[in-house]
Structure 1
Amino acid sequence: MKKIQSYILLAFAGIAVTSGCTKLNEEVLDEILITQQTEKEVAEGVTSAAYAKLPDIWQHTTYFALQEISTDEAILPYRGGTDWGDNGIYLSLHRHETTSTDPNVRNTWNHIFQGISRAFTAMEALKTNKDPNAPLFLAEARGIAAYYSMLSFDLFGLVFVKEDAEKTSKILRGTEALEYIKSELLAIEPVVESTTGPGRITKGAVWGLLARLYLNAAVYRDRYAATFDFKKEDMDKVVEYCDKIISSGQYSLSPEYFALFDDANHTNKELIFAVDQRADLNGHNRMAYFSLSGDMFPLPAYTGANGTDGPAITPDFYRAWANSTAPLDPAQADGRFFKQNLSIYTNPNDSCVEASKFNINRGILRGQQYGLVRQGGVFLKCDNGFMKLRKLVHDTRSKPTLLVDFTEQVDFTVPGSNYNSGYRVSKYEFSKTSVSGRNFGEHDIVILRLADAYLMRAEAKLRRGDAAATALADVNTVRASRTARIVPAPLTTINLDLLLRERGFEFYWESQRRTDMIRFGKYEGTWTEKNNTDKQKRIFPIPQSQIDGSSILPGYLVQNPGY
């Protein structure tokens, strides 16, 4: 095993990064360690290592938790007084009372900066590598480092820059950090390719990240402003880069909304940039199981694959959607809200289903849930050998009289924290091809997709003062594209508040909500179990372990205000 010393000083913790070889192309980006490496193998191995921290960052308890549970979209109570307590970290996260010792904040920080470390290691190795693809890999490593830096900038308000392996990293904040990330992305735009797949940095990914950077530039320049100054020149750039994506002809909006989050979504033409989680890369994420009940078993082949009674949709977020479609129920008005896969929900007599055809419902799950019933370690079957379906109860929680009947109300009270409280989210498909379904998700986790280009462009048009009709057209293009089932009716008017609402409907559970709410000036608002109005909570604390580790250089790493 060859070890390469990290070339970036991250709070003075030395990180050893293993390099390896693999076939680095559209099909495979993986790390396989060997003892002897050719130039080609080194180039591919170190580039793979730079990408390999993405799945860790996008775990359900790291970036997702920070971006979703801190908002009006998701809430994770202390289930039944026994589950998801975790010393109150999820309650504090939702209430904007997170401290510098929060383990999820620390883990997110560590994964991001380990990723940056690997990317810088890759860049150092690729500068002198003789493989013909080394310049492309070097550009991709630089690009993934820029993406990691975008995350650290958005979450923690700072960026580490390492220009000399022998010198201490420089810390940038505010406009300096913004311009640095921008320059890194612009530098690689001419080099990266367009067709290497959503799991790698492509031109489309660069354009999308630049659009996102310019869209949030007003926030990044002045984190704690009472109102943000969205400059016309920034909005022009958002429109320019979104135009490039939309007019490239490489991407198309998915007619079936939930196909974007299926196992086989890697080839979905709407995806621009994603965490590559296909089976041959040992995909490992729990996005599909996190919100489901512990008595929901989505896979007939695995009696141990169930949910975990995690976060729910807040009543505030649900009510906004329900009110927007009234008098129609949102499931009848918008195919993004719900997809029924089991007929028993509308026909109670359909209580037997072939195992190969069993699929749990998708989207936002409400009310009484039906599904497979596990007794004595096996699932019940009908006389014809089909899987038996019936009303679910909380057997796994030793509450056989409590129905798995999801309620709208969920909060931090004892009744509001019960196992059945809160509508749940089944957005990503529960993997049918992994070894357990629960722990290994083969769906790519979406970072950027074409719908975001349309909605970012619409927002930029509104913020620079264009006629609202031009922004409305972009929003309705996305709504009208979901033609596989229920097409949401076109909006007749648009403004910033309606656009934030639309972004919530389109991107719920995709780790965008916190950043969106800050940009729209809503993060200090009040919602279920949250009334903290402190603007300093717009960014998270630097982990105390990092502050302590940097104490050998006084004043080097300073805690964010308010922590």
Structure 2
Amino acid sequence: MKTRFKIYKTLGFVILFIATITSCTNDLNITPKDDQTVLSEDLFKDETAYKQVLAGIYANLALTGTDGAGSSNLKNIDAGTSQFGRVLLYVQTLSADQMIWSYENDPGTREIQRNIWTAQNPLLLGMFSRAHLSIALANNFLRETTDAKLDERNVSASVRSDMPAYRAESRLMRAMAYYYMMDIFGKANFVTEDDPLNSQPPVYGRAELFSFIESELKDIDTDLVDARQNEYGRADKAVAYMILAKIYLNAQVYIGEDHYSDCITYCNKIIGSGYTLASNYLYNFMADNNTNDAKNEIIFPIISDGLTTQNYGPTTVMINGSVGSIEQNGTEVGVSQGGWGGALRVRKQFANLWGAAFANDDRNTIISDGRSIDITDISDKDSGYIVQKYSNATSTGGFGVDQTFVDTDFPLFRLADVYLMYAEAFLRGGGGDQATAVGYINALRTRAHNPNTITSSDLTLDFILDERARELYWEAHRRQDLIRFGKFTGGNYNWAWKGNGSNGISLPSYFNLYPIPTASMAANPNLTQNPGY
């Protein structure tokens, strides 16, 4: 079992679901499976409960239920369609030009990967609900840790001294959930700890969410633990800086304003916080990425542990899914030999990014022997190339503890992305320094043992988009990147099965946002559907 913040041991597992079934979920119109209220004053008689309840907010990113990997704590939502990291991967990666899922009878996947989704898609309901549950859990923690509540309980000075940082972490996790809602759906039910329980929540659009996220993350800066000084798996200042850099890089999409100079500012803050690239690119995606030197590159992970947090999250899905139907290479990556029988492959447009200049690049994990590059029939698992980026093996030659549920943490944010964001923001007029931007790109290539370093003349926006694909594939960034570059909708860039055409067809512009799930609108009359749906 990996050593991590105890949210991923049994106690945190239980606390997540104690918190889930309280009335706090009602403030965001989430329907838990059990409506009893168990988060009582008795819980806080033991002062360790405060850290445990905080743990539940983090646990919601990885866990879905109390009865094993297939259980869900949300009514009428399956575990496989509501695990936070998994649905994030689906909406940001499966919907774009890098990934194909073979088993289209899995609920929602066919519509997502063919770009024919509707408001009834269960994966979209899972994403919407899971993000709002993060918000509800954070609000609950903040309600239970006010000065008045702590005074009533006569909480000790030692616990109270930790509370400003705990509350700041809770607010950060809530802001991150609102960030993903802003990016994916363009709106969210908006509630803070100051709103009464069981009230009908107002709806915030992108402009209001942007303003809230920005002000909230700046406001908590003083109380957050310094970068790289918190327990592994917990958020710190650098996570807040990362979200700020992300919203500033995408501000033109979100609010129609240029914030590239702000993006540069926060990239510099992260880079100046002591992070370093892992010595080996693939260390970031191995079963011991919490202890090998990837821990110096990963800014924030979604934790996975094959013993204590068994779930069908993104790394379990990708490692089992990328085992080839022909290759049967599961034992190489620490799962069963056949894995999931060729569930995942890559689309032709992504495969074509790896020309001769990348033949020996460590980031190039494509396996193509005996395979056609084209996928003309999605159900034909022997067609299309596969990749072997993620692994349940360790950097020291061992393997994770389980052959299905992997130990590999999902690197939600890492330093390499910051380098690429800096270079892009520089090119978009945000300031910074050209030599520095070139240096960051070359640092990534050098780390990957690619001798083809670049010069200033190579640094263009088109180059950045392709380099982001090569460095960050299958890390839940691609849809956002394509939208920012004006290539997700429309017909100026088509990929295999875009818009349900085998060679790709144009998408209407309203597909830059997902629809609001029908069930979510039914729960809150203030929610309205996004245009076009």
| Length-normalised TM-score, structure 2 | 0.79
Aligned ranges 1:20-419 → 2 under 5 Å: 37-56=44-63, 61-76=86-101, 79=102, 83-86=103-106, 89-127=108-146, 128-129=149-150, 130=155, 131-132=159-160, 133-162=162-191, 163-166=194-197, 167-194=199-226, 195-222=229-256, 231=258, 234-249=259-274, 251-267=275-291, 268-278=295-305, 281-284=308-311, 285=313, 286=316, 287-293=318-324, 295-298=328-331, 306-322=339-355, 326=356, 328=357, 330-332=358-360, 334-337=361-364, 363-367=365-369, 405-411=370-376, 413=377, 417-419=379-381
After superposition, the C-alpha distances for 1:380-414 in whole angstroms (9 at most, x for unaligned) are xxxxxxxxxxxxxxxxxxxxxxxxx4331113x3x
Partner of 2:7: none
Structure 2 counterpart SS, 1:86:
coil
Structure 2 counterpart SS, 1:266:
coil
Structure 1 counterpart SS, 2:299:
strand
Q: Is the 8 A contact 1:67 1:515 kept in 2?
A: yes
Instruction: Indicate which of 512, 522, 525 corresponds to 2:487.
Output: 522
Spell out structure 1 runs of 4+ moving beyond 6 A. 14-21, 299-302
* Cα separation, 2, equivalents of 1:41 and 1:506: 41
Q: Is the 8 A contact 2:306 2:402 kept in 1?
A: no
Shift in Å, 1:529:
1.9
Given the superposition, is the C-alpha separation of residues 146 and 39 from structure 1 closer, same or farther in structure 2, using an over 3 Å criterion?
farther
Q: Is the 8 A contact 2:43 2:49 kept in 1?
A: no
The one-letter amino acid of 2:362's match is: G
Q: Is the 8 A contact 1:70 1:94 kept in 2?
A: yes
The one-letter amino acid of 1:282's match is: T
Shift in Å, 1:40:
2.5
Shift in Å, 1:527:
1.2
Structure 2 counterpart SS, 1:120:
helix
The one-letter amino acid of 2:382's match is: N
Task: Say which is worse superposed, 123-132 or 144-153, in terms of deviation.
Answer: 123-132
After superposition, the C-alpha distances for 1:296-348 in whole angstroms (9 at most, x for unaligned) are 432799757723422211111111222xxx3x5x332x1111xxxxxxxxxxx
The one-letter amino acid of 1:85's match is: N
1:558 equivalent in alignment to 2:512: no
Task: Say which is worse superposed, 525-534 or 286-295, in terms of deviation.
Answer: 286-295
| Length-normalised TM-score, structure 1 | 0.75
Instruction: Indicate which of 514, 519, 534 corresponds to 2:508.
Output: 534
* Cα separation, 1, equivalents of 2:170 and 2:24: 14
* Cα separation, 2, equivalents of 1:419 and 1:14: 37
Partner of 1:389: none
* Cα separation, 1, equivalents of 2:418 and 2:250: 14
Given the superposition, is the C-alpha separation of residues 18 and 429 from structure 1 closer, same or farther in structure 2, using an over 3 Å criterion?
farther
Shift in Å, 1:491:
1.6
Higher gyration radius (CA): 1
* Cα separation, 2, equivalents of 1:37 and 1:460: 47
* Cα separation, 1, equivalents of 2:124 and 2:481: 19
Q: Is the 8 A contact 1:434 1:442 kept in 2?
A: yes
Given the superposition, is the C-alpha separation of residues 197 and 519 from structure 1 closer, same or farther in structure 2, using an over 3 Å criterion?
farther
Given the superposition, is the C-alpha separation of residues 290 and 60 from structure 1 closer, same or farther in structure 2, using an over 3 Å criterion?
farther
Shift in Å, 1:59:
5.7
Q: Percent identity?
A: 27
Give unmatched runs, 5+ long, in structure 1. 22-32, 223-228, 338-362, 368-404
Structure 2 counterpart SS, 1:49:
helix
* Cα separation, 2, equivalents of 1:9 and 1:300: 43
Q: Which has the higher strand share?
A: 1
1:444 equivalent in alignment to 2:409: yes
Given the superposition, is the C-alpha separation of residues 300 and 527 from structure 1 closer, same or farther in structure 2, using an over 3 Å criterion?
closer
Shift in Å, 1:470:
4.1
Q: Is the 8 A contact 1:479 1:490 kept in 2?
A: yes
Partner of 1:429: 391
* Cα separation, 2, equivalents of 1:39 and 1:136: 19
After superposition, the C-alpha distances for 1:365-392 in whole angstroms (9 at most, x for unaligned) are 222xxxxxxxxxxxxxxxxxxxxxxxxx
Given the superposition, is the C-alpha separation of residues 520 and 49 from structure 1 closer, same or farther in structure 2, using an over 3 Å criterion?
same
Shift in Å, 1:5:
1.9
1:490 equivalent in alignment to 2:517: no
Given the superposition, is the C-alpha separation of residues 168 and 301 from structure 1 closer, same or farther in structure 2, using an over 3 Å criterion?
closer
Q: How many residues align?
A: 457
After superposition, the C-alpha distances for 1:264-319 in whole angstroms (9 at most, x for unaligned) are 11132101111122457525331311222354432799757723422211111111
RMSD across aligned positions (CA):
2.8
Structure 2 counterpart SS, 1:501:
helix
The one-letter amino acid of 2:494's match is: T
After superposition, the C-alpha distances for 1:461-498 in whole angstroms (9 at most, x for unaligned) are 1111656444322222222233xxx3342123111110
The one-letter amino acid of 1:6's match is: C
The one-letter amino acid of 2:169's match is: E
* Cα separation, 2, equivalents of 1:491 and 1:283: 42
